[in-house]
């Protein structure tokens, strides 16, 4: 009985939902379409609760780290920032009716701390990309030479200065993106989609059970 | 003796070897200089050629009749916003000038403030703007990415309240929509550093509404496979945003960043060329069979 509950019922539920959603895509049946719409709403609501769950999990993780004195300063800063933002936003919403999207302090925290911090971390990539390109882009073989030439031409063609250096660079760049790149990307996308369909069919018919969390 | 009694050949590196082994800190310094200086003191390099993908998006929006609906999906965190947000502002400005309706929503939590920011920069206000609810609606955050979009495409009232807690069903914006689905939309524009394939899958294929994008430059190569029947045009990173700013005659942050991008690209190419000169020259010096 336990095996039936653990193994077969999840597969039956999944298969039923999969056929149901496929039916919604293929058929114009108002009752079916409305039910599918409700199903999608349910998923987004569950997704919203996942945010709450992630806050709880993150808090637990960092409280544990503080207790074990591993990353006391970092974890304390993270927890303080997160909970001050949450409590202040909720307080303003509950007491004064200000929507979190329009809350001035929360916006200040976002624009003053989150946004510059995230942008800075991302922009550091420019240094690594430059250093990696300098070290690794060597014309050691025919393939590497082709990659190097395409990379340099696209980089120059995409930057505004490329047209000033040599106008046809823009056309060459366009050709690389619209012909070889497009052909290669389409092959990859189509292969990935065929593989995904095959995977979904295996999941729906119960051949693939890794998603049930037992690694089978 | 050096080497604890062992003879150590004192090897002096040739210029070509040195060219291949420049300390990365100098590379970092070079990039820092060529990116920072034009931002602080713009040097006014030529703006370059406006790309086909930018022109197509501009022309498509420009030819839309008044009050057509454009849906803008914000999937930009602060990192990607550096490239995409200026483009969103320029497109919103274009929509405002054309009298188009714009429906915003964010598919990730940290993209929500960027919708407000775009509205503030173009419209001057957000929910208290006089045309809010008639020409502009901000739905705020819709979770679960693709499923959220599928829900919105199937039913425009998928989210019953907007980002400011107002009831969407009473808004004039939606009053004359015949199907209340994505069939009523004229264009959906994705801003972010993910891919547009999920938008094509959920909106363009089932409902026939074309897709466009304002995407991080690194993503551009993954959009070309959908051109030009599914994706009618897109902005490639900061350069695409700058081009759109030029087209709508409203130069902003993206146009200001073009000097830095040009010099940055040039510096990287020079470093690559130097490295390869060193590589080939040092290879030529190695005797055959050696």
End-to-end CA distance of chain A: 19
Interface test with A, best of B74, B146, B225 (most A CBs within 10 A): B225
List the structure tokens of A45: 């609501």
Query: B28-68 pLDDT, tens per residue?
Result: 999 999 999 998 888 888 778 899 999 999 999 999 999 99
State phi, psi for B175 to the nearest 5 degrees: -60, -40
Give dist(CA B182, CA B71) in Å, integer.
Answer: 9
Number of residues that this document lists for chain A: 216
Give dist(CA B169, CA A117) in Å, integer.
Answer: 38
Number of residues that this document lists for chain B: 290
Tell me: cis bond preceding A194? Omega within 30 of 0 counts: no
Q: Are A89 and A103 in contact (CB under 8 A)?
A: yes
The structural domain count of chain B equals: 1
DSSP string, B129-198: STTBTTTEEEEEE-SSHHHHHHHHHH-TTSSSB-TTS-BSTT-GGGTT-SSSSGGG-SEEEEEESS-SHH
Task: Give me the residue from A118, A137, A174 closest to B52, CB to CB.
Answer: A174
* CB contact (8 A) between residue B221 and residue A48: no
Q: Would you give the distance in Å from CA B193 to the centre of its chain?
A: 7
Cβ-Cβ contacts under 8 Å, A122 against chain B: 78-80, 82
Give dist(CA A99, CA B172) in Å, integer.
Answer: 22
Domain-located, residue B274: no
Helix (H) or strand (E) segment spanning residue B27: helix B24-40
Q: Range of B193's domain? A: 52-256
Residue B188, beta-bridge partner list: B71, B211
Give dist(CA B159, CA B151) in Å, integer.
Answer: 9
The nearest CA of chain A is from the CA of B1 a distance in Å of: 35
The nearest CA of chain B is from the CA of A201 a distance in Å of: 19
- Look at B133 and A28; give whichever has higher pLDDT: B133
* CB contact (8 A) between residue A155 and residue B82: no
Helix (H) or strand (E) segment spanning residue B256: helix B253-256
Interface test with A, best of B47, B224, B226 (most A CBs within 10 A): B224
Which whole-number Å values give the CA distances from B109 to A77, B146, B208, in the listed order? 21, 15, 28
DSSP string, B48-97: -PPPHHHHHHHHHHHTSPTT-EEEEEEE--HHHHHHHHHHHHHHHHHHHH
Task: Give me the residue from B113, B227, B272 closest to A110, CB to CB.
Answer: B113
Query: A159-196 pLDDT, tens per residue?
Result: 888 888 888 998 999 999 999 999 999 999 999 989 98
Enumerate residues 6+ apart whose C-beta is below 8 A from A107.
B113, B116
* CB contact (8 A) between residue B48 and residue A134: no
Residue B268 scores a pLDDT above 50:
yes
DSSP string, chain A: -HHIIIIIHHHHHHHHHHHHHHHHHH---HHHHHHHHHHHHHHHHHHHHHHHHHHHHHHHHHHHHHHTTSSHHHHHHHHHHHHHHHHHHHHHHHHH---GGG-HHHHHHIIIIIHHHHHHHHHTHHHHHHHHHHHH----SHHHHHHHHHHHHHHHHHSHHHHHH-THHHHHHHHHIIIIIHHHHHHHHHHHHHHHHHHHHHHHTTS--GGGTT--
* CB contact (8 A) between residue A116 and residue B78: yes
Confidence of residue A11 (pLDDT cuts 50, 70, 90): confident
Helix (H) or strand (E) segment spanning residue B103: strand B101-106
For residue B115, what is the nearest residue in chain A, using CA coordinates? A101
List the structure tokens of A48: 């919203």
Interface test with B, best of A29, A101, A191, A192 (most B CBs within 10 A): A101
Task: Give me the residue from A107, A123, A130 closest to B271, CB to CB.
Answer: A130
* CB contact (8 A) between residue A164 and residue B45: yes
Helix (H) or strand (E) segment spanning residue B104: strand B101-106
Cβ-Cβ contacts under 8 Å, B266 against chain A: 156, 159, 161
Confidence of residue A50 (pLDDT cuts 50, 70, 90): confident
End-to-end CA distance of chain B: 30
For residue B105, what is the nearest residue in chain A, using CA coordinates? A101
pLDDT more than 90, % of chain A: 31
Where is average pLDDT lowest: A106-120, B6-20, B159-173, B176-190? B6-20
Query: B99-133 pLDDT, tens per residue?
Result: 999 999 999 988 999 999 999 999 999 888 999 99
* CB contact (8 A) between residue A161 and residue B263: yes
CA-closest candidate to residue B135, choices B86, B108, B98: B98
CATH (domain of B222): 3.40.50
Read off the pLDDT of each residue in B201-220 and give the average, rounded to a whole number. Answer: 93
Domain-located, residue B35: no
DSSP string, B188-248: EEEEESS-SHHHIIIIIHHH---EEEEE-GGGGGGTGGGBTTTEEEEEEHHHHHHHHHHHT
Read off the pLDDT of each residue in A92-109 and give the average, rounded to a whole number. Answer: 81
pLDDT value at residue B290: 46
pLDDT value at residue B3: 46
Confidence of residue A209 (pLDDT cuts 50, 70, 90): confident
Sheet strand arrangement including B136-141: B136-141, B101-106, B69-75, B187-192, B211-215, B231-236
* CB contact (8 A) between residue A37 and residue B236: no
- Look at A202 and B284; give whichever has higher pLDDT: A202
Interface test with B, best of A30, A102, A141, A196 (most B CBs within 10 A): A102
Can you say whether the dihedral through the CA atoms of B76, B78, B79, B81 is positive or negative?
positive
pLDDT value at residue B20: 83
pLDDT value at residue A34: 84
Residue A27 scores a pLDDT above 90:
no
Task: Give me the residue from B150, B163, B221 closest to A40, CB to CB.
Answer: B150
The nearest CA of chain A is from the CA of B65 a distance in Å of: 30
Task: Give me the residue from A47, A126, A163 closest to B31, CB to CB.
Answer: A126
Mean pLDDT of chain B: 90
Query: B74-97 pLDDT, tens per residue?
Result: 999 898 898 999 999 999 999 999
Cβ-Cβ contacts under 8 Å, B261 against chain A: 159-160
CA-closest candidate to residue B94, choices B47, B58, B126, B143: B58
pLDDT value at residue B1: 42
Domain-located, residue B155: yes
Enumerate residues 6+ apart whose C-beta is below 8 A from A192.
none
The three-state secondary structure class of B120 is: helix
Domain-located, residue B136: yes
Give dist(CA B246, CA B231) in Å, integer.
Answer: 22
């Amino acid at each position: 009985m336990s095996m039936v509950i653990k193994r077969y019922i999840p597969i039956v539920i999944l298969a039923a939902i999969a056929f149901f959603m496929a039916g919604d895509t293929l058929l114009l049946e108002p009752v079916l379409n409305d039910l599918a719409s409700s199903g999608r709403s349910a998923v987004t609501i569950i997704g919203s609760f996942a945010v709450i769950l992630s806050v709880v999990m993150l808090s637990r993780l960092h409280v544990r780290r503080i207790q074990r004195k591993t990353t006391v300063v970092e974890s304390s800063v993270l927890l303080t920032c997160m909970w001050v933002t949450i409590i202040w936003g909720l307080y303003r919403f509950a007491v004064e009716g200000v929507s979190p999207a329009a809350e001035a302090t929360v916006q200040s925290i976002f624009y003053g701390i989150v946004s510059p911090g995230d942008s800075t971390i991302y922009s550091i990539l420019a240094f690594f990309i430059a250093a990696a390109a300098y070290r690794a882009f060597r014309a050691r073989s025919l393939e590497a030479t082709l990659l190097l030439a395409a990379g340099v031409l696209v980089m120059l063609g995409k930057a505004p200065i490329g047209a000033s250096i040599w106008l046809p660079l823009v056309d060459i760049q366009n050709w690389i993106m619209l012909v070889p790149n497009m052909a290669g990307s389409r092959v990859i996308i189509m292969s990935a989609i065929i593989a995904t369909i095959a995977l979904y069919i295996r999941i729906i018919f119960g051949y693939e059970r890794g998603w049930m969390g037992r690694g089978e | 003796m050096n080497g604890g009694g062992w003879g150590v050949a004192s090897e002096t590196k040739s210029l070509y070897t040195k060219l291949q082994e420049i300390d990365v800190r100098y590379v970092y310094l070079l990039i820092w200089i060529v990116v920072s200086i034009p931002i602080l003191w713009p040097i006014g390099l030529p703006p370059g050629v406006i790309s086909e993908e930018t022109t197509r998006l501009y022309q498509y929006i420009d030819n839309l009749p008044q009050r057509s609906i454009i849906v803008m999906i914000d999937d930009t965190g602060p990192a990607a916003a550096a490239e995409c947000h200026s483009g969103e502002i320029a497109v919103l400005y274009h929509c405002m000038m054309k009298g188009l309706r714009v429906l915003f929503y964010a598919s990730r939590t940290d993209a929500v403030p960027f919708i407000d920011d775009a509205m503030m920069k173009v419209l001057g206000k957000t929910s208290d703007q006089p045309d809010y609810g008639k020409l502009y609606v901000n739905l705020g955050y819709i979770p679960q990415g693709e499923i959220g979009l599928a829900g919105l495409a199937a039913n425009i009232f998928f989210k019953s309240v907007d980002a400011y807690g107002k009831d969407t069903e009473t808004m004039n914006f939606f009053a004359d929509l015949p199907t209340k689905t994505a069939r009523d939309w004229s264009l959906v524009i994705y801003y972010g550093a993910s891919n547009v394939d999920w938008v094509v899958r959920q909106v363009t294929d089932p409902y026939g509404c074309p897709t466009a994008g304002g995407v991080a430059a690194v993503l551009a190569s993954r959009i070309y496979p959908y051109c030009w029947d599914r994706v009618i045009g897109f902005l490639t990173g900061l350069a695409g945003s700058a081009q759109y700013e030029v087209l709508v005659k409203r130069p902003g942050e993206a146009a200001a960043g073009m000097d830095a991008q040009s010099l940055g690209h040039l510096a990287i190419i020079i470093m690559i060329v130097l490295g390869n000169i060193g590589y080939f020259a040092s290879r030529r010096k190695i005797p055959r069979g050696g």
